[in-house]
Amino acid sequence: MPGPLDGVKVVDFTEIIAGPLAGRLLADLGADVIKVEPPWGEPWRLTQRFTDTESRTFMTYNRGKRSLPLNLTKPSSAEILKKLIPEMDIALVNFRPDVAVKLGVDYETLSEINPRLIYCELTAYGREGPDADRPGYDMIVQGMTGMVSSETKTLDGVPSWVWSSPLIDTSAGIAMAWTVCAALYARERTGVGQKIETSLLASALNLMGARFLHVENLDKETRAKTINDLDKMRHDGATYDDMVAVSPGSRRREHHGNLYYRIYYTSDSPISVGCLSDPLRRRLLEVLELTDEGLEPGWNPLLPESRAYSLALEKTAEDLIASRPSAEWLQLFETRAIPAGPVRFIEELFEDEQVVANGLVTDVEHSTEGTVKMMGLLAHFLGTVPTPPVASPALGQHAAEILQSLGFTQQEVDGWRDDGVIS
């Protein structure tokens, strides 16, 4: 059965993670996604190599696509685009605005060729403002938006970013896929294509929405004083840990909530416990045979004696949970419907019963490496079931196929290959 995006054609000019992820999500749903990259391959083909010509990262974010290596700096590439773009429904771009213009893949150029085109542009910082043309990546945006400082994690006094997963890139990729689907729906009603602009900066701020509200709740004088204090501390050579301590939006808030939503270490391994409602918190207290005055009316967590009480209660809970193994605690919590789970390692997920039962790991046939285990689909459609995922394309694997489908001859294809326009 065709997937929900069967018949939708996408040209993917993007590189690295966010943009390629958007293209992969559309391919997973049945869209025909043509990845346009330089004849030598996009940068992450050879980062963390899986094969001589392909990396694990590239394979992850580019499965299900067809490859068209095209040197956009060559004037003759415009001839190919003039035939390719009218066939497309969606274009994905994550170049800096000035680079897109230089390469001839900006919205104005492509929409003139195809007015029905849905053009989604991802930049680092947005189209306007002093940083509009600056390059930017996940870690850089984590740093400039306060995400790093909010984590409050340091190594030898140096702040640590969230590096295990590119969360801003991932959020931005999902946003691109989501918005182009919305634009497809709008085009069905209006018959008109449009441009969509989003950014890593926008994704970061949306991920930090609750943190923003926390800081916004502070009075203007407090925010202004914090900024002045931080400026002075930088000037005086204060440590990063010292600066975190004066930032209300960054420093760890020590209150009774840490008893209920946190990681505990049992006698043999860590577990996570998440009790975010009052009934769940009281249920956890019953299991631990504790009481918490902080849950009662009139409690003021800002008082020094309240903080001391909360810290003492947390220590008691830590000692109790450390006295028994994780399996016992998890079984006990399950019987009382308390949300909890083990803290695991990624190596333990491949055969995990829950992961396998929901199709979240799948076998994909790679062109050179045979069967490879990958993550499954992000969502399942019961009415329009996409075909099983296929591996990422080898560089130039589909070039002749794509170009000949546009009406170009084998002779033309061979000529462009000789001239370095394609590979």
Query: Which SS3 state, helix, strand or coil, does residue 58 take?
Result: helix
Give me the helices (H) in 237-325, please. Answer: 240-246, 278-288, 304-321
Whether 2 maps to a domain, the answer reads: no
pLDDT for res 419: 94
299/316 same-domain check: yes
76/96 same-domain check: yes
Residue 362 sits in a domain whose CATH number is 3.40.50.10540
Whether 55 maps to a domain, the answer reads: yes
278/412 same-domain check: no
133/23 same-domain check: yes
310/398 same-domain check: no
Distance CA 67, CA 357 (A): 32
Q: How confident is the model at residue 254 (pLDDT cuts 50, 70, 90)?
A: very low
The number of distinct structural domains making up the chain is: 3
Residues 167 and 207 sit within 8 Å (Cβ to Cβ): yes
Residue 65, judged by CB atoms within 10 A of its CB (0-12, 13-18, 19+), counts as buried
126/235 same-domain check: no
195/46 same-domain check: yes
Whether 180 maps to a domain, the answer reads: yes
305/383 same-domain check: no
187/112 same-domain check: yes
Per-residue pLDDT at 1 exceeds 80: no
260/332 same-domain check: yes
Query: Which SS3 state, helix, strand or coil, does residue 18 take?
Result: helix
Residues 255 and 294 sit within 8 Å (Cβ to Cβ): yes
Residue 332 is part of which domain span? 256-347
Whether 4 maps to a domain, the answer reads: no
Instruction: Tell me the pLDDT tens digit for each residue of 321-376.
Output: 999 999 999 999 999 999 999 999 888 888 888 988 988 888 888 888 888 888 88
**Threshold 0.85, pTM exceeds:** yes
Residue 91, judged by CB atoms within 10 A of its CB (0-12, 13-18, 19+), counts as buried
305/228 same-domain check: no
pLDDT for res 252: 57
Amino acid of residue 267: S
